[in-house]
Chains A and B, each alone.
Chain A
Amino acid sequence: MSEAIKVDIWSDVQCPWCYIGKRKFEAGAALFDGNVEVEYHSFELAPDTPVDFDGSPVDYLSQRKGLPVAEVEQMLEHVTGIAESVGLHYDYDSVHQTNTVISHELLHYAKAHGRQLDMKERLLKAYFVDGRHVGRIADLADLAAEIGLDRDDVIRALTAHDFLADVKADVAQASAYGIQGVPFFVIDGKYGISGAQDPDTFAQALRQAHTEKSEEKNK
């Protein structure tokens, strides 16, 4: 069996393109005839957002970006349509805009327990599809329990912020790479892919990294 190609992905739980990009990357990885090892990293799009933001995503984006409500609604309608095209049924009327730092801490907790990929999928679906809150410890612990993690231990770790330093390290590394938007994919530590690109782009990058790795090995 060939050596896995490592893919590091910077992403935020409340980034609509990150969930779309996840699906497109997964489709690309399926086209690639080889092993892929994925690790998610934290990126906070809006670290100053309150956990209990009083308003809708439309209110939030309109205020934050200084755009008319109609324009924001059009943006969300557009991204919802793209999501639909990859099989994701976004429900923006139910979304709870929040602060995602603790959800990133949970992703690091899940990584430490070998469940990061399942947790990432659960959090994205919770936020965009299920209308669940992903900013409060109790709600996050419920979601963690749904994938089989120990609810009480999750509450303990998140309350103590055991993984906050790991979140900060990811954010610092993103900054060092010059990452300004997400999703951002780093293939085998060599190639960067920004945004929700087509599956073929990911497959091609994986093949390229794989070929180079094989050539290195045979030198």
Chain B
Amino acid sequence: MSDAPDTTAPVAPAEAASVPTIELLGQAAAGGCCGGGSCGV
């Protein structure tokens, strides 16, 4: 049996903080992970 909850279930999220506009810094090609595994260099 899985321990993981159904994350698609309608659990009310705690209120997200306000989201100001952010300015992106740094190189575009730095290593990162996106859905499904590693992306970037």
Contacts and interface: CB of A to CB of B under 8 A. Distances in A.
Interface string B17-35: 1011011111111111111
Interface in A191-219: 191-198, 201, 204-205
15 contacts: A17-B33, A65-B37, A79-B31, A102-B4, A172-B13, A181-B32, A181-B40, A183-B33, A191-B24, A194-B24, A194-B32, A195-B30, A196-B30, A201-B27, A205-B26
A46 B24 CA distance: 25
B4 A101 contact: yes
Interface residues of B, number: 33
Q: Is the interface of B mostly helix, strand, loop or mixed?
A: loop
Given A165-B12, A181-B32, A136 B26 contact: no
Interface stretch (A29-37, A47-55, A122-130): A47-55
A168 interface: yes
Given A17-B33, A47-B7, A192-B25, A52 B19 contact: no
- The contact size tier of chain A is 35 or more
A2 B29 CA distance: 33
Nearest to B5: A161
Interface string A135-175: 11100000000000000000000000100111111111100
Contacts, number: 145
Interface of B: 2-5, 7, 11-17, 19-20, 22-40
B22 A197 contact: no
Nearest to B4: A99
A27 interface: no
Contacts of A69: none
Contact of A165 (B14, B23, B32): B14
A13 to B, nearest CB: 11
A21 B31 CA distance: 8
Contacts of B32: 15, 17, 21, 181-184, 194-196
